[in-house]
Structure 1
Amino acid sequence: MKFSIEPETVGEVKLCSYSELQNITDFKSASLIQELFREDCSMAPLDEIELLTDEKANTHPNLVKLYTFCWGTRLAAVYDEKFTRVLSDVLLADHFGWDNRINVATQLADLFAWFHGKRIAIGSVTPSCVMIDEELNAKVFDFGFVSNNVNEDCEIKVKAEVGSDAPEVSLGKRTIKSDIYIFGLLLLELITKEKFKFHEGPWFLQSSIQDEAKRSKKGLVHECFKEVDDGTASEITRLTLQCMDFDPDKRPKMKDIFYALRAMRVRGEKRKEMKMRQNKKSSYLEGWG
């Protein structure tokens, strides 16, 4: 175990017994616990608990806040969030439009960049690990892997596996650039409005999305997003493919991805505002006519 769980509190997080945790997650009585996130109140990795109780590393607005945890016959945790839905629930939804998708992508890029700035690799984050609150903000509550004190040259040895992970992970190694690939997968599903079968492997996935990008005028951006201009569609398609490059050294840095997405979001907001002004002006002129 990497950290001590002897104190009654770790930072502002309470350490309780499993029986106490069962009592506070009893929804039969009206209490503050109804405002807490309980859906993932099961086994939670120790490295995630360590991360979420680190006062220097748990302040990001797109990271869930840990309310309490216990360590006894099992490790369990309760998060201080009001559960609404997860990203995987809204990926295919028409009401989850382009503005919301680019906003969530920007928030996640900011979180990933923030972790990397603290030399933390976070591993596999899938849409089912990202909560979307009532204001449509992203909150990440689960990580497939956490490793501290890493940099771009650090290789983290892992067991070989295939799935929603970077190609190099199937060869038994992971670096901080593997997080970039994971972010590329999240971005891919957000802009294509599609859920992919990642278990078929990264090589099959890469071939299929490259073909799709060539066939469509808007690259990987779903045709339903009419408000996305060709320039933005081309830019975000190129960014997604760069994140998913098989060569980790060719993937962009997380902070650069964040800056690129933020710039796209700002340009989109300006175009939307300009269009609204033009529509108001047209309506005004028609009224005088």
Structure 2
Amino acid sequence: MVTSGKSVGVPKLNRPELEAACEDFSNIINTFPSCTVFKGTLSSGVEISVVSTAILSLKEWPKSSETCFRKKIDSLSRVNHKNFINLLGYCLENQPFMRMMVFEYAPNGTLSEHLHLKEFEHLDWAARMRIIMGVAYCLQYMHHDINPPVAITDMRSDTIFMTDDYAAKIADVGIWKEVATKAKTAKEDSSSRSECPPDITSNVYCFGTLLIEIISGKLPEADDQESMCNWAAEHLKGKSYSKLVDESLKEHNANELEAVCEVIQECIDPDSDQRPTMRDVTRKLRQALNISPEAATPRLSPLWWAELEILSAEAT
């Protein structure tokens, strides 16, 4: 079920084109300990985001990091979904050292900013339900329609981006931390070790905690989803669902809230074997929320493929 246009992988792009697109890599939109994110504009006017490792030389980049990087390109190149920040290409050069991935650009900030910062557009109940369905459809596609399945290693509200019309787009950012960790532990790394299979049930748990954050507007504590789940679990047990609703919301739909809360309860089950599949989750939510896959996706589709074919031809 993988779309043929991307099943063969994504193009290798050349440095000069990306340098020009990102204004000599001066157009920084975010910096993390393990990577830097640049905004770029291709010559056609299409906007891209370019993520570059913080590692600066080949000496600090062991074989295990290279393997991890290439495997990620391979797995992300198999994902082609309108609610995903799709991988468009990569750049791999040793002189000067460069490892970059090129993604679609979502212009409207992150879900976290819209939920928690006053200067961002407030999301009403209907907008939140559309975001929930967009994320659910995308995870269902990644878990069930791609073989082998792909799990998002680090899914949070600040790794979900908003399009112009407030559709959700999930980004996979876990790779850069993983690569940096492998570089640090290269000496004791045994590259023959088999890769862990994708952790689908943890992904479902993350989805459950994300739903709590979306309906409650409650900011999760850093790296501690458990305390938010414990807070929600008390209200879920007593079926006092309205106590979970964000006070800034003027109205909400009680039937939809009930369905979302039932899904949360199943997804955050401490016993990972008891958690539902994303196919079950999507079926249940769609029945209650009545939002089709088409309604949950962005209305505009960028025209980057033609442009990238030109770039990739120049790179080879």
TM range (shorter): 0.5 to 0.7
Cα distance between partner residues in 2 of 1:201 and 1:190: 13
Cα distance between partner residues in 2 of 1:246 and 1:74: 42
**Which secondary structure state, in structure 2, belongs to the residue aligned with residue 139 of structure 1?**
strand
User: CA contact under 8 A between 1:68 and 1:78: conserved in structure 2?
Assistant: yes
Report the CA distance between 1:132 and its aligned residue: 0.5
Cα distance between partner residues in 1 of 2:288 and 2:43: 39
1:190 maps to 2:214: yes
CA 239–32 in structure 1, closer or farther in 2 if over 3 Å, else same: same
* Aligned twin of 1:109: 136
1:81 maps to 2:110: no
AA matched with 1:138: A
User: CA contact under 8 A between 1:221 and 1:237: conserved in structure 2?
Assistant: no
Q: 1:206 aligns with which of 207, 212, 229?
A: 229
AA matched with 2:228: L
**Which secondary structure state, in structure 1, belongs to the residue aligned with residue 161 of structure 2?**
strand
Greater C-alpha Rg = 1
* Aligned twin of 1:168: none
Report the CA distance between 1:210 and its aligned residue: 2.1
User: CA contact under 8 A between 2:241 and 2:261: conserved in structure 1?
Assistant: no
Alignment map for 1:136-285 (pairs within 5 Å)? 136-144=166-174, 175-200=199-224, 202=226, 204-213=227-236, 214=238, 216=240, 218-266=242-290
Report the CA distance between 1:231 and its aligned residue: 3.4
CA 194–37 in structure 1, closer or farther in 2 if over 3 Å, else same: farther
Report the CA distance between 1:143 and its aligned residue: 4.1
AA matched with 2:86: K
AA matched with 1:210: A
Aligned length: 228
CA 47–186 in structure 1, closer or farther in 2 if over 3 Å, else same: farther
CA 224–83 in structure 1, closer or farther in 2 if over 3 Å, else same: closer
Cα distance between partner residues in 2 of 1:137 and 1:80: 14
* Aligned twin of 1:65: 86
Q: 1:18 aligns with which of 15, 18, 29?
A: 15
AA matched with 2:123: F
* Aligned twin of 2:122: 95
1:36 maps to 2:47: yes
Structure 2 unaligned regions, length at least 5: 1-5, 28-39, 54-67, 176-195, 292-316
AA matched with 1:205: M
Report the CA distance between 1:212 and its aligned residue: 4.5
CA 45–173 in structure 1, closer or farther in 2 if over 3 Å, else same: closer
Cα distance between partner residues in 1 of 2:265 and 2:126: 21
**Which secondary structure state, in structure 1, belongs to the residue aligned with residue 261 of structure 2?**
helix
**Higher normalized contact order (CA 8 Å, seq sep 6+, divided by chain length):** 2
CA 80–232 in structure 1, closer or farther in 2 if over 3 Å, else same: closer
Instruction: Please list the CA deviations of residues 67-114 of structure 1 after superposition, one character each: whole Å capped at 9, or x if unmatched.
Output: 331112231122233532111111136621111111111111111111
Measured on the aligned residues, the alpha-carbon RMSD in Å equals 3.2
* Aligned twin of 2:185: none
CA 41–201 in structure 1, closer or farther in 2 if over 3 Å, else same: closer
Identity %: 22
* Aligned twin of 2:160: 130
User: CA contact under 8 A between 2:152 and 2:172: conserved in structure 1?
Assistant: no
**Which secondary structure state, in structure 2, belongs to the residue aligned with residue 100 of structure 1?**
helix
Structure 1 unaligned regions, length at least 5: 1-8, 146-171, 268-289
